Structure 1
Amino acid sequence: MSQSPSVQQLDTLPGLPAEARFDFLVRSVLDNEQVWTLRGDAGTVLMSCDGDDCLPIWPHAEFARQWISGDWADCEPLAIDLAAWMERWLPGLQEDGVALAVFPGKKEEGVVLEPLEFLDVLAGSQD
């Protein structure tokens, strides 16, 4: 079911432009039926995106694992089933005012969007 990224993908994808990483994540999430984030002792991690709280998400555990260091040294990748992601997580994050940082790159840049916008992208891509 879930195909791990190659060594080459692990090296090159985080350096691609934000839109390319976004597209890769959407395809991967739909193909593998899961999304990845990080969870530590205090719960799922959040990062600041222009002053707003954002939940970082990745297409595979290996990409999330690349971020485990510093303040996130106690973290481990957390897989979220696609159905739970769409039915519970995205509406809950929207309600809590937490945006998504989609597949942040090497310099922490990436596509940031509201959870319900991402839900629309996923639903539209399933057609």
Structure 2
Amino acid sequence: MSYTLTTADKNAAQMMRDDERFNHFVARVCEHQELWILTDEHGCMMLTSDDDEDCIPVWPHADYARDWARDDWSHCTPEALSLQVWLARWVPGMEEDELLVAVFPTLDETGVVVEPRELEEAIVRKQKQGRHN
């Protein structure tokens, strides 16, 4: 259930601090029930954080992921994951494989790197807030 992303919205989001982009990501994922990864013929793209930890980068919209797919990643394409699939399959799988999540990286930043369960908890909190509004 992708949404239209304007150039102004995209530029504003990319100017946010990491923590602001994290919160923006959580809000958009809750609102649209999907998130985006980059894939190639071998599967999901991963990167290494500044602390040498393996991460799967995620974005709230295909355009952010597409913009990130440059240079070494230019062969990758955005792929949508439903929030339900992410929570049910990806979070436990990433925990089992000891992978972290790089939330909404920009071209010059890794983004907020968190445990998969920590991102899940932020999403669940946001969903509960939405039900009480």
TM-score bucket of the superposed structures, by smaller chain: over 0.9
User: Any stretches of 5+ residues in structure 2 without a counterpart?
Assistant: 129-133
Question: How far is the alpha carbon of 1:107 from its aligned partner?
Answer: 1.2
Secondary structure, aligned partner of 2:9: helix
Q: Which residue of 1 aligns with 2:131?
A: none
Q: Which residue of 1 aligns with 2:125?
A: 124
Question: Is the 1:18–1:105 Cα contact (8 Å) retained in structure 2?
Answer: no
Secondary structure, aligned partner of 1:123: helix
- Aligned pair count? 127
Q: Which residue of 1 aligns with 2:86?
A: 85
Once superposed, what is the RMSD of the aligned Cα atoms? Answer: 1.1
Bigger Cα displacement from structure 2, 116-125 vs 74-83: 116-125
So what's the TM-score if we normalise by structure 1?
A: 0.94
After TM superposition, the runs of 4+ consecutive aligned structure 1 residues lying more than 4 A away are none
AA at the equivalent of 1:60? H
Question: How far is the alpha carbon of 1:41 from its aligned partner?
Answer: 2.0
Secondary structure, aligned partner of 1:66: helix
Q: Which residue of 2 aligns with 1:7?
A: 7
Q: Among all aligned residue pairs of Structure 1 and Structure 2, give the percentage whose two residues are the same amino acid.
A: 35
So what's the TM-score if we normalise by structure 2?
A: 0.90
